[in-house]
Structure 1
Amino acid sequence: MKNNGRLREAREGYLSNDQAKIRRSHLPHRIREDLRHAERHRGAGFTLPEIILGGQDGLVNVLGVILGVAAATNETGIVLVAGLAATFAESISMGAVAYTSTVAEADFYQSEVERESWEIKKIPDGEKGEVRELYRSYGFSGDILEEIVTKISGNRNVWLKVMMEQELKLHKVNRKDALPSALIVGFSALVGSFIPLLPFFFLPIKTAIFLSLIISSLTLFAVGYYKAKQTLGRKLFINGLEMLSIGMLSALTGFLVGKLFNIQ
């Protein structure tokens, strides 16, 4: 979900049934500005899924680790060491995954641009045929279809854009976005990881376990609720429970493993 003002307003209008917002978001000048801005900044910005991915992964994994260690040892110091190790390892790992995946996507996109550019130059008739079949699948035929093919193939930049976005369903990914993406995912994982760990710094272990479960449960439910509110606009409670259930399943698994290998 990119931070796009017009699309955000359209989404909010739809979710709240605000007809005025919907109409404002579809004014011609705003659409034109939006498209120009998208061309200049495509790939920039951070998404809600990235933040949720890092935060949820950090919270759930560290919660499972500390409950497992707490069940196995009943020692606050050991729980904190294990929790901190998991916190920083998880944050670095998630950031690294975000970085390498963005780089891989950018490299793949660039390789496809080069391939499509070569095909447009070397086998234009074949590429025109692909455009023709693509728009035929959209319901165009006859003279209108041929006019579309002629218009698109008359501009190399437009032609390449159509092949990338409509045939291959690929959108530009910039290598320069890899580091910011890694930082936001890694930081989200760090914040999420500390949520279940904090009570163990200040409270006896049994109280800390209970409070950690409560805080983590409320956080997971709130994240699921918020995500549904921002994307679906409905089933808020169900989505909150869904995310809560996923987190608690991980916590239960960690706890049971700790009990199984009890080393007290």
Structure 2
Amino acid sequence: GGQDGLVNVLGVILGVAAATNDPRIVLVAGLAATFAESVSMGAVAFTSTLADADFYESERSREYRHIQQVPHLEKNEVREIYQEKGFKGELLDRIVDTITANKDVWVAVMMAEEHQLQPTNRKEAIRSALVVGFAAIVGSLIPLVPFAFLPVSMSMFASVAVTAVVLFGVGAYKAQKTVGHPGKSGLEMAAIGTLSALVGYVVGALLKIPPTP
């Protein structure tokens, strides 16, 4: 959320700054984009979490029906899953018998191993929406700060520079936590985000509004 808000709002304010050269209009447009973006992304996170929870429950109910209607087929699926993990012989038989002795355990195994799904708590939807919305607000406000203190011409350069540094940091951090080279990942994210935002500047420059006499 923060990364998207950062790039999107930077594009908006660069375009407005290039078109109007008025810091007040830039701030108003940037704040409007900030809060609209945060509400939108929070709503998407909320509905997405609910959709995940609904899908999980739907698949879970289907597994219960299959266990009731065709238990031999479902039992064979459990056997195949653990055969692929390297179990065999008497140990495999014990694993299958233990799992299929309890329907709740049986379904939980099928959901995790066959469908690669984990339970989603519907109560998490609100928390997810708040986290994403707040992250979007924080990210969106970063490129706006220079326009509150500097002339528009200087603010544009400062805003791009600050955004690029933040994006580099985010990219490097993600690479450290996952897989990849922090420096390369940081540069890629900074370059892609900055170039995307500069599209807004180009649009604003092409549609520049002449100053009022």
Q: Shorter-chain TM-score: what band?
A: over 0.9
Superposition pairs for residues 41-120 of structure 1, below 5 Å? 54-120=1-67
**2:188 matched to which residue of 1?**
242
Q: Distance in 2 between matches of 1:188 and 1:147?
A: 48
After TM superposition, give the deviation of residue 202 of structure 1 in Å.
1.7
Distance 1:123 1:149 in 2: 16
Provide, for residues 111-152 of structure 1, a one-character-per-residue CA deviation record: whole Å limited to 9, x for no partner: 111111122122211211221222233344444433332222
Query: Does 2:68 correspond to 1:121?
Result: yes
Partner residue, 1:258: 204
Which range is displaced more, 213-222 or 190-199? 213-222
In structure 1, how many angstroms separate the alpha carbons of the residues matched to 2:154 and 2:205? 18
Per the alignment, residue 98 of structure 2 pairs with 151
The DSSP-based 3-state class of the residue aligned with 1:248 is helix
What SS does structure 2 have at the residue aligned with 1:175? Answer: coil
Give 1:68 shift.
1.0
Q: If the length of structure 1 is used for normalisation, what is the TM-score?
A: 0.75
Distance 2:71 2:167 in 1: 53
Task: Look up the match of 1:220.
Answer: 167
The partner residue of 1:231 within 173, 178, 191 is 178
What's the offset of the Cα at 1:218?
Answer: 1.0
Work out the CA distance in 2 between the residues paired with 1:92 and 1:177. Answer: 17
Aligned: 1:205 with 2:149: no
Matches within 5 A, 1:167-178: 167-178=114-125
- Secondary structure of the residue aligned to 2:12 is helix
Task: Say whether 1:130 aligns with 2:59.
Answer: no
| Percent identity for Structure 1 against Structure 2 | 59
Structure 1: runs of 5 or more not aligned: 1-53
Structure 2 unaligned spans of 5+: none
* Alpha-carbon distance in 2 for matches of 1:249, 1:120: 53
Which deviates more from structure 2 when the two are superposed, residues 182-191 or residues 149-158? 149-158
Deviations 1:219-261 (A, max 9, x none): 11111122222333x5111111011012111121111111222
Structure 2 CA distance for aligned equivalents of residues 150 and 260 of structure 1: 71
Q: Which whole-Å CA distance do the structure 1 matches of 2:126 and 2:82 have between them?
A: 38
Aligned length: 210
Alignment RMSD, CA only?
A: 1.5
1:209 and 1:252 map into 2 onto residues whose CA distance is 10
For the residues of structure 2 that align with 1:60 and 1:147, how far apart are their CA atoms? 55
